[in-house]
Amino acid sequence: MNDACDVAVVGAGPAGLVAAIEAARAGLSVTVVDEFPWPGGRLLGQLYTDPRSHGRWDGRKISRQLAQEAGELGVRILGGATVWAVGRDLSLELSGVPVGTLRPQALLLATGAAERALPVPGWTKPGVVCVGAAQTFTNVHHVAIGRRVLVAGIDPLALSVAMEMHHAGVDVAGVVLPPVSTTSGALASPERAVARLADVADLAPNGLLRAAARLAAGKLSPLAVSALRFDLVRVGGVSIGFRTALVAVEGDGRVESATLRSVAPDGTLVGPERRIEVDAVCISAGLYPLTDLAEIAGCPMVEVEELGGLVPLHGPGLETPLERLFVAGNLTGIEGAKVAIAQGRQAGCSIARSLGRATLVSPEDAARAVSDARTSSPFRFQPRIAAGRAAMAELWQQAIARGDQSA
C-alpha cells in the first residue's frame, strides 16, 4: 500500500471517529487506521446507565452508529492495522492487514490511553487481569473472567466494572485497595480512595459507584477522613473494603486464593493476614495517555500530572507545535467518552480549517461543547482535570511566547 489522503486519523475510538466525520463533512478525504479489527476503541466495552440522561450508555451501539456515519461520508476505516512509525512529513508506516505507507496532508493522533500495571506477589498467575480486560470480557465478549472475583483498586472504573460483573452473574468477592508499594502510591491510601469517590458522587454511572461515592462524600468532614470506619460497606450486593488491601495472589498454576490485610487510614498494613478463595483477581491501577506515536512524530511532550502524566503539548484547538499535527481524546488527558467525542469534533473542525475548508461548527462552539461534556461526564478519572487543562493552556502560551508554535 502506498496511498495519499487529505487527513489520516490514528485511532478509531470516539475521538478519532468523530474527528473523521467532521473532516469528511468539510469535504476532505479521510482514512482512519486502528490496530483493533472493529472501530470504537474503548467505547466498545462501555455499558451503563447515564444518571444525567437516565438513558443507557451503550458503547457498542454508539460505535456502530459512528462507524456507519463515517462510512456514509466516505471515510475509509482500516482495521487490524498498526501504525508503527510517523515521519516528519506526517507519513504513517502501517503493518498488519494492510502493510505500507499512508501520506496525509494533516494527521490526527487519537491513540487513547493504556492501563498502568500494578505488580502484586502472584500477579502473573493465569486469572489475574487488568480492569480493562475484565470490562472487555464482560461487556464485549460476554465471558466471565472467573466464578468468584476479587477486584483490587477502589476507583470509579473499578467499581463500575465490579458492578457490571455482578450484574452479569459473577460472584464479586469484594472490592479492596491495592497493596502499598512504590508503584501503587496514593492508590493504596483509604483517604485518597474516599476522596476519589466523593468527587464523582453525583455523576456516577451505576448504583454501586453512586452509593459508595455519596457515602464517601458524606464522610468527608475533616474528622471523618481520619476515622474512615466504614470498612466493608455492602452496596447492591457488592462489598467495598475501604480499609482492606490485597497483599498477594496464590494458586498452583492459576488463581486459587487471595491474601488480604487491614490497612490504617494512611495505607499502612495492620493486623493479621486472611485468605479468601477466588479464581480471578482484577487489578485497577489507573490509566495513562498512550503517547508513543506523538513522541515518534517529534511532538514536544509535557508532564501534567492532573491530565494523567506525559501528554503532547497542544493548543486550544487541539493543534500541536508541529504543522498539521493534531491530537484528541485520552491522548491529551484521561477523561470519559463524552469528552473524547466533543474533542473529536473540535479536532475535526481545526483540521478542516487548517486545510482551508469551512466548517459548520465555530471554534468557540466546539470548545464550549468540550467543557459542557466535561461537566456532564459520568466518569471523572482525573479529579483535578480542570487544573490540568488550565496548566496546558499556560504551557501553550509560553510556547507561543518562545516562538515554538508553527500551527
Q: Which of the stretches 252-260, 287-295, 349-357, 383-391 binds ligand FAD when contact is defined by CB under 6 A?
A: 287-295
Least distance (Å) between residue 223 CB and ligand FAD: 34
Among 110, 175, 177, 201, binds ligand FAD (CB under 6 A): 110
Q: How far apart are the two ends of the chain, measured CA to CA in Å? A: 29
Q: How many CB atoms lie within 10 A of CB 252?
A: 7
Q: Are strands 171-177 and 238-250 parallel, antiparallel or unpaired?
A: parallel
Instruction: Give the contacts of 407 (CB within 8 A, at least 6 positions apart).
Output: 315, 319, 320, 321, 322, 323, 324, 325, 354
Total binding residues for ligand FAD by CB under 6 A? 35
Looking at residue 376, its amino acid is: S
C-alpha cell of residue 299: 511532538
Q: Which C-beta is closer to ligand FAD: that of 14 or that of 267?
A: 14
Cβ-based neighbours of 226, under 8 Å, separated by 6 or more? 191, 265
Closer CB to ligand FAD, 41 or 321, in the complex: 41
Calculate the dihedral angle through the C-alpha atoms of 388, 394, 395, 399, rounding to the nearest 10 degrees.
160
Using CB under 6 A as the binding rule, whether residue 288 contacts ligand FAD is answered as no
Measured between alpha carbons, how far is 304 from 352 in angstroms, rounded to an integer?
Answer: 28
The answer to whether 21 contacts ligand FAD (rule: CB under 6 A) is: no
Reported as type and span, the H/E element at residue 65 is: helix 59-72
- Determine the interface stretch with ligand FAD among 142-150, 196-204, 309-317, 335-343 (rule: CB under 6 A): 335-343
Pick the closer one to ligand FAD by CB: 15 or 212. 15
Give the amino acid at 65: Q
Q: What is the rounded radius of gyration, in angstroms, for the C-alpha atoms of the chain?
A: 22
Task: Say if CB 311 and CB 333 are below 8 A apart.
Answer: yes
Told to check if 340 binds ligand FAD by CB under 6 A, we report: yes
65 CB-near residues (< 8 Å, 6+ apart): none
Q: Taking contact as CB under 6 A, which single stretch among the options 111-119, 168-176, 180-188, 313-321 is the one that binds ligand FAD?
A: 111-119
Does residue 330 bind ligand FAD (CB under 6 A)?
yes
CB nearer ligand FAD, residue 261 or residue 345: 345
User: Looking at 22, 35, 199, 319, which residue binds ligand FAD (CB under 6 A)?
Assistant: 35
- Shortest Cβ 149–ligand FAD spacing (Å): 16
> Nine-digit cell at 317?
484547538
Using CB under 6 A, pick the residue from 12, 176, 318, 392 that binds ligand FAD.
12
Question: Among residues 104, 112, 190, 308, which is the contact residue for ligand FAD, using CB under 6 A?
Answer: 112
Contacts to ligand FAD by CB under 6 A:
10-16, 33-36, 41-43, 46, 82-83, 110-113, 115, 132, 135, 157, 160, 287, 290, 293, 329-330, 336-337, 340, 379
